[in-house]
A and B are shown apart, each in its own frame.
Chain A
Amino acid sequence: MCGIVAAIRFLSASASRRRQALLAMSKNIRHRGPDWSAMYSTPDNTVFLGHERLALNGITSEGDQPMHVFDADGEPIISWVVNGELYNHKALAEEFGLKLDYTSDSAVVGPLFLAKGFETASLLDGKFAVAIYDHRDGTFYAGRDHMGISPMYIGYGAPGTENENAIFVSSEMKSFNDVEEVDSFEAFPPGHYLVQKADGSKQFEQWYKPRWLVDETYVPDKPADHARLRDKLHAAVEKRFMAEVPFGVLLSGGLDSSLVSSVACRVAASRNMPPLKSFVIGIKGAPDLDAAREVADFLGTDHYEFYFTAQEALDALRDVVYHIESWEQCRASVPMFLLSRRIAALGIKMVLSGEGSDEALGGYLYFHEAPSAEEFHRECVRKTSRLHLWDVNRANKATMAWGIEARVPFLDQVFLDEMMNIDPNEKTIDLSEKPDGVHPKLEKYVLRKAFDTPENPYLPESVLWRQKEQFSDGVGYDWVDSLRAYAEDEVTDEQFAARAERFPGDPPETKEYYLLRSIFEEEFAKKVKSASATVPRGRSIACSTPEALAWKEEWMNSAGDISGRAVNVHASSDGFGMDDRAMDDLTVFANGNGAGASASQKKSVAAASALPEATQQQRRQRRQQAPRTPPTARRGAPKPRAAMNGAGRVASRHLRTSTIRLH
């Protein structure tokens, strides 16, 4: 990963001021590319391409961007910058007979554009945000990968000014904070490209058009092919081994990250690589840490366990809002942000991560309530197509804040197609059914089944077939409790009562959201209108899309009452899977704090008690097994650790949120 910026047809002010503006844009995203920067401009200083480089393929100048294709006189014809990884660069060069001047994967873009024009984006396999300037006719071309794994924002000059045709591009919108010439901006739509001609006319085109995405009437009916799924995930993981720097895996111990780790270990072994490094973070004693350790032991990874305190997390809150450029998912982003810093400190620059499977396969627990297989499929499509606003945005920016690149094999184009073309009847959840005669049809059954190879197991049976765990298990309340208490302190009742005036149209429903949105508005104060518009809105039940509210009448009718809503979901969906918005209520529920709880909450407690005895027993055991004393670090000889700020260490399940539930 890297950071890119661009300005096209930027005319106002002096050349020197324009360059300074671009340097400022670039500097604001330097965390994405700590290793080098470069700024190219045309001789008239109206077109700029800038790059902040994270060098994953050596530090020689070989991979420095911007890159150019030159004509016979040494003048640039095509200039470009790319943020991302293009896994098929060699294949493309071969297929189209492209002559590459640089060895880096980014080098393929310009020659490809020369050969294939606007088709370029659709031919690239990987994740990318690319900006290309064609000197011959002044055409500007920008494109973003199929899922929006690489972030990209596009800004516009003020209409009616000399900058009215100006376009500004950046990997993160914070670039626009300090550039007054950017009048408005928006997120660049994933799977699209943009062409702007020299006369200023411009158009977005969607290039990523698999049938499951664009055909609203399409419901797949292909049976799941387990061997094929397995092979394709292998291929997706292997593709992502393209790096010359040490890398690792984010391992929370949940299904998705454990599968990615397991497959990655096999790939590494096949290449005679040393054991992979795996990373987990939690408040000390969190069951998450145990789960990850169990998997790490099983896989034999070089495992690193990191801890944080609630105070450290609170201290990082503002940075996290600033970095992920959203007030959503902050609870889950903070641990990932802290973990990334630890990973970077070890000299690791790239990690594999498990995002995407919950969306493509309907892994969230509210999917239990899908009224039909068809509706199940549609929700998968909705969730998947919006990933760039949620988990993919978070995973990318929380890691890139420290110059760590996260790669997400589940969102590989080929593997995604596999998942999205499976008959949704195979994805629907029915715990009473045992398709293989042994395992209940849990969420993501097809994926579990694909990797259920007892003769040569990918994961311990208990991990492969474990149900999603509840976020607030064990003693993991510290972080969320602290955050909520902090918000209570920071936001007065008077402020909160006036929230509709402060945030007209879409007032936050809790003090926590009030606080997060306030921080967001402070951090993006100069561009608050455009910035706020990039954050997703709409009501949600436990991570659902707003559309899925129609699945249940009480969800529809629960407008404005997030509590009741969420708790009902919780009860009816077997106590699993809440999103950030639902957590407030879960805490009430899981604390068993019935006193003062609403009727609906009490009902939910009762409903939860009606869970199958086996499930309850299993949970009780898990709670009992959760260690009360911090485990010693298990890498090598345990080293004594300094007390951090003297704060006590307690367990939490927070990372589970970031790596399993929200994926």
Chain B
Amino acid sequence: MCGILALLMSNEAAMTRKRVKELSGRLRHRGPDWSGMYQHKGNYLAHERLAIMDPASGDQPLFNEDGTIAVAANGEIYNFKDLFAKLKRKRKPKTQSDCEVISYLYEDYGPSFVNMLDGMFSFVLYDSKKDFWLVARDPIGITPLFVGFGTDGAVWIASELKAIKDECERVAPFPPGHVLTGGNSVAGKLENIPKGTVVLPGGTAPVDLGSAAVDKEASAPFVRWYQPKWLKDHFATPEVFPKEALDLTRLRESFERAVVKRLMTDVPFGVLLSGGLDSSLVASVACRHMDSVFGSGSEIGGFRTDRLHSFCIGLEGSPDLLAARDVAKFLNTQHHELHFTVQEGIDAISDVIYHIETYDVTSIRASTPMFLMSRKIKALGIKMVLSGEGSDEVFGGYLYFHKAPNAEEFHRECCRKIRALHMYDCARANKSTSAWGVEARVPFLDREFLDVAMNLDADEKMCKAERKEGHIEKWCLRKAFDTPEKPYLPDNVLWRQKEQFSDGVGYSWIDGLRDYCEREVSDAELAAAAHRFTHNPPSTKEGYLYRKIFEEHFGTCPGAAHCIPGGPSVACSTPTAALWDAAWLAKGGGGDPSGRAVLDVHVGPGLEKEDGGGGKRAKK
């Protein structure tokens, strides 16, 4: 991952370059390897680079052949070689960087080229001849991106909010799967701009962005470029539901391709392995393809590729550590078990909130171990990891999905969850690793894989008691990898029910956090929470403390608190799904969002209770 910062259409004040440089420095954790900056008139593109592809060169910003188009990009374009082949005019690559192709594509295809990209990315392209700029973000928002508007009409773009928080009168998450274009040139002269694009006139503020607006279709001036069938159907009136029959082989192969694609690297890498289904599948598939991708006995940066490095963190003796150890043993990975203490976790909380840029309780609980683990991973010399995020959203893997009333509602909730991923698990996975210059890649959110998995009839994803494997979430995914003749995973892992990350790292982690927050926040403070925090007021002491720390870091930034979604949730559900069972809200809705509410809710026969919220989980 890298960090990008752009200031577009600013007044060219003398101090600006220095200021942009300074602000870009706030993203340096994302790109510890080099800094670069491009300026043309009042447009600045700054880049902090983490070198994954072509570490010896490939500094950014990158340019087209004559240097008139600059690109600052964060992410990976997995199909860059194909894209080079698709250029209308051949170019000799100046670097080995996967992002170099962006400016050429723009030259050959115009702004609609964005839809040709396969990967996770956010970038700013500036065309100095036309004085035109284009900002784009990947389909799901795996890479973070924020947009802000200065009082002078300038547009700020940054990988993380912290870079622009002091410059803008309004900030918002840049909507995933969208582009934003603009410039001081006349809109009518521009060709090839996707239909519906609103070109911002220079120096005037664009339309107001409410935090709710950003996830709506075509929320001007943003244009949605990512419009797969499943999403179009989801937005259609009336909504259309997928009906494709389950093809286990296709599902499996599609996922395998997604993993293999992500083995594109020039630096040492590994896999995050919690021992749960998703991370274990990623690890298993990666292991199978190491030799075919890298050639047997090869080396990257002094690391042999014959054994995959896997990483797991937990309090000593935690369930994840044990589960991951089993899987690592089965897969014969080079496994690294990392431990942390509750005190170390608590000491890191303020840093975690600063890095993840959230006050969402579940995110912070789960991010902290990941944040600590990433530091150790980096210490070992690993710069990239594969991770299992996204599967629970795509397949409805959270335990509350057991309560989905029907396939339509199930599918709808999956869509809602996927669209919100950029504010939750994607933000967590990306920022807690990027805090230490480690890049996380998430094969479950592969574009092609999503097309397969999201066009599936949701009936196949439903948790049903009548199947021979029993009443279990993510059945179709498990079934696709249930190949006993050459097993991907041990049976007990493949068919084990879900544990939640923040709990699997050790039961006393959440207890410890909550105890700490109890000590730090008084009853009187909590009672006045709604006065102090008018938007999304916290309802627990834990939430209060996180919010207070968030305000310390971002309090002066108008709109920062609105970048984090709120509303009632049950065990990770969206507010809408929280209505699936009236008992949930009656029990504890608005309280502990990560699971206290389901503590006493039986989500299904024989299930472990998820995220016991301080209580000990029922063990099978």
Q: Does A498 contact B (CB under 8 A)?
A: no
Once A36-B375, A641-B95 are accepted as A-B contacts, the answer to whether A315 and B37 lie under 8 Å apart by CB is yes
Kindly list chain A residues whose C-beta atoms are within 8 Å of the C-beta of B302.
Answer: 246, 347
Q: Which of A68-76, A337-345, A467-475, A540-548 lines the interface with chain B?
A: A337-345
Q: Does A156 contact B (CB under 8 A)?
A: no
Q: Which residue of B lies closest to A53 (CB)?
A: B379
Q: Which residue of A lies closest to B55 (CB)?
A: A345
The answer to whether A346 and B55 have CB atoms under 8 Å apart is: yes
A residues neighboring B (CB under 8 Å): 16, 19-20, 23, 27, 34-39, 53, 55, 59, 61, 245-246, 304, 311-312, 315-316, 318-319, 341-342, 344-347, 402, 633, 635, 639-646
Kindly list chain A residues whose C-beta atoms are within 8 Å of the C-beta of B375.
Answer: 34-36
Once A342-B34, A642-B97, A645-B37 are accepted as A-B contacts, the answer to whether A34 and B56 lie under 8 Å apart by CB is no
The answer to whether B63 and A646 have CB atoms under 8 Å apart is: yes
Given contacts A59-B376, A318-B18, 7 further A-B contacts (CB under 8 A): A27-B351, A34-B375, A35-B379, A36-B376, A315-B37, A344-B33, A642-B60
The answer to whether A345 and B376 have CB atoms under 8 Å apart is: no
The answer to whether B339 and A61 have CB atoms under 8 Å apart is: yes
Q: Does B22 contact A (CB under 8 A)?
A: yes
The answer to whether B57 and A315 have CB atoms under 8 Å apart is: no
Q: Does B54 contact A (CB under 8 A)?
A: yes
Residue of A20, A318, A345, A402 touching B22 (CB-CB under 8 A): A318
Tell me, in angstroms, the Cα distance from A535 to B62 when the chains sit together. 40
Kindly list chain B residues whose C-beta atoms are within 8 Å of the C-beta of A27.
Answer: 351
Shortest beta-carbon distance from A303 to chain B in Å: 12
Q: Tally A-B pairs: CB < 8 A.
A: 101
The answer to whether A23 and B34 have CB atoms under 8 Å apart is: no
Kindly list chain B residues whose C-beta atoms are within 8 Å of the C-beta of A59.
Answer: 336, 376, 379-380
The answer to whether B36 and A639 have CB atoms under 8 Å apart is: no
Once A35-B376, A59-B376, A61-B339 are accepted as A-B contacts, the answer to whether A640 and B95 lie under 8 Å apart by CB is yes
Q: Does B67 contact A (CB under 8 A)?
A: yes
Q: Chain B interface: which size bin?
A: 35 or more
Tell me, in angstroms, the Cα distance from A219 to B289 when the chains sit together. 69
Q: Which residues 36-82 of B sit at the A interface, judged by CB distance below 8 A?
A: 36-38, 51, 54-63, 67
Q: Which residues 266-282 of B sit at the A interface, judged by CB distance below 8 A?
A: 267-268
Q: Does B93 contact A (CB under 8 A)?
A: yes
The answer to whether B56 and A639 have CB atoms under 8 Å apart is: yes
The answer to whether A347 and B301 have CB atoms under 8 Å apart is: yes
Q: Which residue of A lies closest to B348 (CB)?
A: A37
Shortest beta-carbon distance from A612 to chain B in Å: 43
A-B contact pairs, 15 of them (CB 8 A): A23-B347, A23-B350, A37-B347, A38-B344, A59-B336, A61-B339, A246-B302, A311-B37, A312-B36, A315-B21, A315-B35, A316-B35, A319-B25, A642-B57, A642-B63
Shortest beta-carbon distance from B409 to chain A in Å: 46
Residue of B38, B58, B267, B379 touching A645 (CB-CB under 8 A): B38
Residue of B21, B94, B347, B380 touching A642 (CB-CB under 8 A): B94
Kindly list chain A residues whose C-beta atoms are within 8 Å of the C-beta of B242.
Answer: none
Once A640-B94, A642-B63 are accepted as A-B contacts, the answer to whether A36 and B379 lie under 8 Å apart by CB is yes
Shortest beta-carbon distance from B223 to chain A in Å: 29
Q: Does B402 contact A (CB under 8 A)?
A: no
Kindly list chain B residues whose C-beta atoms are within 8 Å of the C-beta of A34.
Answer: 375, 378-379, 436
Kindly list chain B residues whose C-beta atoms are within 8 Å of the C-beta of A35.
Answer: 375-376, 378-379
Kindly list chain A residues whose C-beta atoms are within 8 Å of the C-beta of B350.
Answer: 20, 23
Kindly list chain B residues whose C-beta atoms are within 8 Å of the C-beta of A39.
Answer: 343, 347
Tell me, in angstroms, the Cα distance from A567 to B568 when the chains sit together. 75
Tell me, in angstroms, the Cα distance from A108 to B296 when the chains sit together. 42
The answer to whether B32 and A345 have CB atoms under 8 Å apart is: yes
Q: Does B381 contact A (CB under 8 A)?
A: yes
Q: Does B515 contact A (CB under 8 A)?
A: no
Shortest beta-carbon distance from A284 to chain B in Å: 13
Tell me, in angstroms, the Cα distance from A208 to B67 when the chains sit together. 58
Once A35-B379, A59-B376, A61-B339 are accepted as A-B contacts, the answer to whether A345 and B33 lie under 8 Å apart by CB is yes
Tell me, in angstroms, the Cα distance from A245 to B302 when the chains sit together. 10
The answer to whether B55 and A643 have CB atoms under 8 Å apart is: no
Tell me, in angstroms, the Cα distance from A641 to B100 when the chains sit together. 11
Tell me, in angstroms, the Cα distance from A341 to B50 when the chains sit together. 11
The answer to whether B35 and A345 have CB atoms under 8 Å apart is: no
Kindly list chain A residues whose C-beta atoms are within 8 Å of the C-beta of B520.
Answer: 16
Shortest beta-carbon distance from A54 to chain B in Å: 8
Interface string of B11-28 (1 = CB under 8 A from A): 000000010011001000
Q: Does B334 contact A (CB under 8 A)?
A: no
The answer to whether A402 and B380 have CB atoms under 8 Å apart is: no
Once A35-B376, A36-B379, A347-B302 are accepted as A-B contacts, the answer to whether A643 and B63 lie under 8 Å apart by CB is yes
Q: Which residue of B lies closest to A639 (CB)?
A: B57
Q: Which residue of B lies closest to A245 (CB)?
A: B381
Q: Does B96 contact A (CB under 8 A)?
A: yes
Shortest beta-carbon distance from A234 to chain B in Å: 26
The answer to whether A645 and B61 have CB atoms under 8 Å apart is: yes
Kindly list chain A residues whose C-beta atoms are within 8 Å of the C-beta of B347.
Answer: 19, 23, 37, 39
Once A61-B339, A639-B57, A642-B60 are accepted as A-B contacts, the answer to whether A341 and B34 lie under 8 Å apart by CB is yes
Shortest beta-carbon distance from A79 to chain B in Å: 15
Shortest beta-carbon distance from A44 to chain B in Å: 16
Shortest beta-carbon distance from B544 to chain A in Å: 15
Q: Which residue of A lies closest to B436 (CB)?
A: A34
The answer to whether A642 and B381 have CB atoms under 8 Å apart is: no
The answer to whether A644 and B36 have CB atoms under 8 Å apart is: yes
Residue of B38, B67, B94, B267 touching A641 (CB-CB under 8 A): B94
Tell me, in angstroms, the Cα distance from A633 to B55 when the chains sit together. 14
Tell me, in angstroms, the Cα distance from A639 to B94 when the chains sit together. 8
Tell me, in angstroms, the Cα distance from A347 to B96 when the chains sit together. 19
Tell me, in angstroms, the Cα distance from A16 to B549 when the chains sit together. 14
Shortest beta-carbon distance from B334 to chain A in Å: 13
Interface string of B219-248 (1 = CB under 8 A from A): 000000000000000000000000000000
The answer to whether B380 and A640 have CB atoms under 8 Å apart is: no
